[in-house]
Chain A
Amino acid sequence: MNRPTRIRLIAAGAALAVLAGGMLAAPRPPTLSTSATGDTTLAQRLADKAALEPGARDTLATAVIDADGVTYAGLGADETTEFEIGSITKTFTALLLAQAVERGEVTLTDPVGNYLDLGDSAAADITLVELSTHRSGLPRIATTPSALVTSVWSSYRGNDPYPYDLATLQEHARAAGLTDPGTVAYSNLGVALLGQALAAAAGTEYPALLQARVLDPLGMTGTSIATTAHALPAGARTGYTAAGRPAAAWTMGAYAPAGAIRSTVADMARYGQALLSADPALGVDPAAVLTPQGPAGAGPLIGLAWFTQAPDDGTATWHNGGTGGFASMMALDRAANRAVIVLGNTATSVDAVAMQILEENA
């Protein structure tokens, strides 16, 4: 074989190797499942609305609650499929706060420093109601250098950005500055402190408190909370980032009260029905958490964790959630006694999907 021929063969072989490697290593973002479950009409509406917000989709599940009961639908998932519900967890923490007030364990105006080791920091004087209504002035996340590095790295890797124990959470709170206390500024740090304070007031751990006072009474047997990766059951479901990359499960350690619950649309529908019907199993009148509190003014109307749309925008009371690999939205029309839950296993928002289904059912 002469030299030019040999070199051409080497070049062709190298190119083929690059092509083969490129095909094998190609990113494979998920696409929305076409396998419909439950009510076919609702499943079609879910599929039609999935493209309302840009980003990867894989599976979706929804429940619509109205006077006729609950209607389920899913794409690649059904009413028993588990999802991380992210920040909708905050509404459970708010419910625990209302229950604790009802039981006389705490008052809304108790300083969180009464229950947690926050020393003489500014955070110690924040009241429990300020934590639940995001009026504490605390930052959204911890602002210590190591926490910021962890947050950036985790968001890049799709990992849990809150791998902290209670001592570290308290360090974060002690180190935090307060910005414009009294105005609404969403804070995961604040709700994490609230959940831990409630657990301390009850003399237990947050997961046990949640289980005993909310999940068991409501019969939410498909709902769980694990605060460490080791506590997750083997094969626990994980999702994808909005860009379609695999994301790790979020368990959130001491930050769990702000977003670590895993649930199903069946259980979330049970929760929604309880909120709409003032089910005694809630332990309190749900108006205590749903009805906006504090000065209305500019900015969102907010109850204990629950947001209510400004009158010009609609009448829904809602909370959404997002983790590294999941997105969630729960919206209630309290006047019409309707609710919609949408859960997805990608971080692509499902807010618009849920809101449109709620409005179309009006």
Chain B
Amino acid sequence: MIAWIPLIVVVAFVGGFAVSAWSPRFGAARDRLALATDGLTAAGILFASRVLVDWTTATVFAWYALVLVLAAATVGAVLRWRTLPPLKDPAKRTSRTWGAGCGLAIVLVLVGVTTL
């Protein structure tokens, strides 16, 4: 069961981006910052999963399925982009920007560490 946890985490992040990009209401991105953050996080986590998930011949098809979901989510994100404000609440610009920056920095470190 423990061996499946990394794969479940990746599915959650990639699936979350798909919901963020395509969902009409529940879980939909509120603004461009959220959409971009979700997309970059999902891509980073998926890339890092190359060495975090047990990809054997039995499970490697899951990689291709996740790539398909990420591609579909990317289409949704591009189509939705124009309809979203840069920030839903400009009063929270600083905190949102910091939050997004820290999140992306963590993903960047993860990608860097896994590609060392």
Contacts and interface: CB of A to CB of B under 8 A. Distances in A.
Interface of A: 7-8, 10-12, 14-16, 18-19, 21-23, 25-29, 31, 54-56, 157, 242-245
A60 to B, nearest CB: 16
Contact of A22 (B3, B51, B67): B67
Contacts, number: 72
Contacts of B72: 15
Q: Which 3 A-B pairs have the closest CB atoms?
A: A22-B67, A243-B54, A11-B78
Given A7-B79, A10-B78, A11-B74, A243 B55 contact: yes
A23 B47 CA distance: 11
Interface residues of B, number: 27
B75 A22 contact: no
A19 B78 contact: no
A244 B55 contact: yes
Nearest to B54: A243
B45 to A, nearest CB: 13
A29 B78 contact: no
Nearest to A243: B54
A15 B79 CA distance: 12
A19 B68 contact: yes
Interface of B: 3, 43, 46-47, 50-51, 53-57, 60, 63-64, 66-68, 70-72, 74-75, 77-79, 82, 116
Contacts of A22: 46, 63-64, 66-68, 70-71
Nearest to A32: B57
Contacts of B64: 22, 26
22 contacts: A8-B79, A10-B78, A11-B74, A14-B77, A15-B72, A15-B74, A19-B71, A23-B67, A25-B50, A26-B64, A26-B67, A27-B50, A27-B63, A29-B55, A29-B56, A31-B57, A54-B56, A157-B51, A243-B3, A243-B55, A244-B56, A245-B55
